Amino acid sequence: ATKIPFSLNQKEALLTFEDEEVAQRLTKMSEHSVSLDNRTANVAVRPVELEKGFQFELHVTVSGKKINVSEIPELPIPKDWMRDKLELNFYRTEQGGGGEIENVTYNRESGTAVITFLKPGASNNFLGCTKYPFCAEGRCFKLSVSPNFDFHLRNFQPYCRVSKKTILLKGIPELEEDEESVQDMIEIHFQKPSNGGGEIEKIKYISKEAAFVCFEE
């Protein structure tokens, strides 16, 4: 889920209603009279305009020709020789290899490689195989093998949205009660249908310091 931050300043409150129609109805009112501690306060009602963000589709496919190899031991042989040994090792079909290899990209520093086979679907031979034998310089090792994934971003676009179920109250007067008590009074007031409200899902009131609230899509 995408988390979108929203800055809530002092003497402000966020109310999220279960029914978005309630929030929309209250948002159309620029001011609302709220009963707080035996007094009526006129507070501003504003829509919650979220910061600009980005949305996109991430498409992930498993390559049918490539595999990732890691935990390759560092041996006292030239880099090209190691690449040739990896190619020969993963070519061998008698031990479960993928057949003819198109390319081997080997990184000595990280001990990793990407093996690209010539035949589509050759990487399926390694499905479920996490360790693969590798013999070199008179020793045998177990290399880690994992699928190679292709990632594609589609429909990448910016957006700026207004929350449909949440309203922002601004200009709440300073009261002697603590934050929790004031929050309770606000919640009681806006839960009443006679005040234009309804069932509240979440509420957050800040009296002194600003806070960041995350909206989740």
* pLDDT (tens digit per residue) in 8-19: 999 999 999 999
Of residues 2 and 148, more confidently modeled: 148
Which class is domain 57-153?
Answer: alpha beta
Q: Quick one: which H or E segment has residue 183?
A: helix 179-191
Q: Which is nearest to 148 in space by CA: 51, 50, 69, 87?
A: 69
In terms of Cα–Cα distance, which of 58, 28, 22, 57 is closest to 44?
28
Q: What is the DSSP string of 45-83?
A: EEEEEPPPEEEEEEEEEEEEEEEEEE-----SS-HHHHH
User: How high is the pLDDT of residue 35?
Assistant: 83
Tokens found for residue 66: 């490539």
Mean pLDDT of 84-106: 86
Enumerate the domain spans of the chain: 9-46+160-216, 57-153
Model pLDDT, residue 174 = 84
Q: Give the tens place of pLDDT for each residue, 12-65.
A: 999 999 999 999 999 988 888 888 877 888 999 999 988 777 778 889 888 999
Which pLDDT belongs to residue 45?
A: 93
pTM: 0.53
* Whole-angstrom distance, CA of residue 177 vs CA of residue 40: 15
Extract the tokens encoding 10. 């002092």
